[in-house]
Amino acid sequence: MGILNDDECKVCFFLDEDFKGNIIGVHPNDNTATVWLQSEDLMNIIKSHNNKAEFVEI
């Protein structure tokens, strides 16, 4: 979730397409906590911040 600190939206986020339709755990700027959400919801959060976010084949 650190990407949300990118005020200039220079960071592009790419996530393996194998995560599509699955739940993913991310750290909410605190490595002692984990937030679980649908991968599509994570992508939407990042996109709503105006960073580029895409599923890609890795």
Q: Could you tell me the two tokens for 4? A: 């949300």
**For residue 28, how far is the Cα from the chain centroid?**
11
The 3 state secondary structure assigned to 17-41 is HHHCCCEEEECCCCCCCCEEEEHHH
Q: Is residue 3 part of a domain?
A: no
Q: Is residue 37 part of a domain?
A: yes
pTM score over 0.85: yes
Give the domain range for residue 50.
Answer: 10-56
Q: Is residue 5 part of a domain?
A: no
In the prediction, which pLDDT does 12 show? 97
Q: Is residue 45 part of a domain?
A: yes
Q: Is residue 4 part of a domain?
A: no
Q: Is residue 24 part of a domain?
A: yes
- Total of domains in the chain: 1
Q: Is residue 16 part of a domain?
A: yes
In the prediction, which pLDDT does 53 show? 97
Per-residue pLDDT reduced to its tens digit, 9-55: 999 999 999 999 999 999 988 889 999 999 999 999 999 999 999 99
d(CA 3, CA 42): 11
Q: Is residue 1 part of a domain?
A: no
In the prediction, which pLDDT does 54 show? 98
Q: Which residues pair with 52 in a beta bridge?
A: 12
